Chains A and B, each alone.
Chain A
């Protein structure tokens, strides 16, 4: 090849190479860095009540009520009512939904009401002049007034069942694990209760409405944690003893079904709350019977013996009726069904009635495989 042409070709090639390099991205390949340690759990703050009754827009939050009510004729009813608020971290949107159950003790009947629709942040008005929380989900409404009184209702869409209650301002506060904050599996949670709020209102069962009044237990929990089902889960009890002691006991299981912790909080009328520890206080929770749900095949504990040596308590808890299972929402994990119902509390030796309570049993229904694993099967 002749010199000048060769020179021209080389020059052109160099020019092209330079242009090409100038147009390329110039990003240098690099290794995936070693992950930094996860962020530490935030330091809890002191709760301020009732202002902290409001929504905290946490990844998960719930407002929960149970209670034992009587009509003027002396008929007994129990109920639970809960509104969950969750955050979708993908869309940063929040969703609320409600569930309620009414147990007619006389008829041995349990009625379930679910919110008609998912709420969203638009369902919630907060911090206006008159209320700390105002949630409206169509057939589920909840308002917590600035003075700390609560009003809540649930209506079955077909109108045959309803619950409408208003509470007085709470007089007792139960801050769990001393300050109302606890480490949970995969996260943390604020958690406090108003164990005895006086309430009155009306219940409608099978189109029959009845005025009622009684005592209500309120739980408020929010934080950043994961609720995991079977074999993980929990057994939780809110007990009103006739001697005016209020007791919360919770047993939490880990992902392999192992018991991670048994905690408790006790309020004795006229004295400070007491945190109960499984070792120091000698807590023993023994399941004595099981009940299998015909709908979910979940096998739930159905009778317990609870001993707490430090407070000289030895009781048996028996469900008022067996089937007080709450189904999971149609969308979501069907294993999230749980048992939430009234239990009668008796002395383990004498069988004498000592009070009543509510049990919540989570993580007893076998989960479905993930959709893509099911397809693979």
Chain B
């Protein structure tokens, strides 16, 4: 026994030595920052290049091929890699990029775009009008199977070509010469200059694309034309972009290096910010942990920016009881939106009484909501009770049938749904059941119209109210999952596309929105999203754009 003890004592002491060695190794490592604390700027020690910007994305970009991109993450990276005809500034207004001069024909259907002649691809080739013609036709080519091809349906015969009913030659885009692009539209689109800033309209390098279909999935095979070049892409881990020395407007670019880490966990993103590994959180480039958000806003450490996205519930307009407008209105008015934002959503979101978010502007730069405020209804429990009773009577119902609120599985959606169901219970005395489904299943159920009330959210592709009117309340829109159908609204929206002036067009869209909400309560708007962002001191020009996507390209560090 004694021998055994000796042995184990010896063993233990070895273990202790090993552990202490490990610990001392760690302490040595820990010494570095401690020693540096004496210096004035210890935090600068790690960033060797002064003009470096670092942030995270929640997922690996699925593609950096402009024709195939569909998500915010890819678009944040692509904004640095590619240059289009126009680029949106921080206010969301289009500014000429490769386009030098854009002229529109009388009927608003033909655009003649003069291109700069000093723009180069990263392999040295010139960027010409032919590249744009090729890229747009490629995105529409049925064989490319681009999910965002519909963004190009504005082009004459664009939709037909995508459907296989027209040839590529019939599509309304043509390079007149190397630096002149002629675009023919199917109908006038006053926001066309914003539209061509969208990533589906970015040019691609023909020889590169034709050489390998997977050209856009590795850093070394990407040929781009933007302010930055992708120097490395470790999938699921890190993307590194460096300033493009041949970019035509390189003086406007300050960052030398941009490092993008793929980090899923919100808490990890925050810890990385705290330990000075990243410079930015928010706007689709990492988000703050929900339990810290409110405190950080209160302490002035985080900033809240409105986002052109709407959080709303869909009513199934075809199924009782929500085929009745009074019942729809009752449910919409029985919610205390401010309380919902303050106590549940908790990121200073703005209560929504319309469909178009406040950060959407109209051509000319004015906010849409300034001209057309969303005072279409109010939170009013008494009125709601009355309307519910009347609505049920109209339908010949003595009591409400069983109603289920369907949402996609997620903690935040769940909290909101529970709070809303509670508000309905208190205000209207109705019992609404909750059901949740995993995302893919949920989308299928919702598309099939198998719900009473379903959660929904909608963001903008371009800075224009059409995103929230035509897309959501037109009876022909594929995104109108509540199957709202009012011919008056359809007519207004159709006419808005061919209106003589942009003002008239906007006015018609606003009127369509008013009818859909004030008169019909087609859906149940809840709030307009915000994004909560944090930025390290010393950076300027890094912002969340109108849509709530990080815009970092023109940032700099002092």
The answer to whether A and B interact is: no
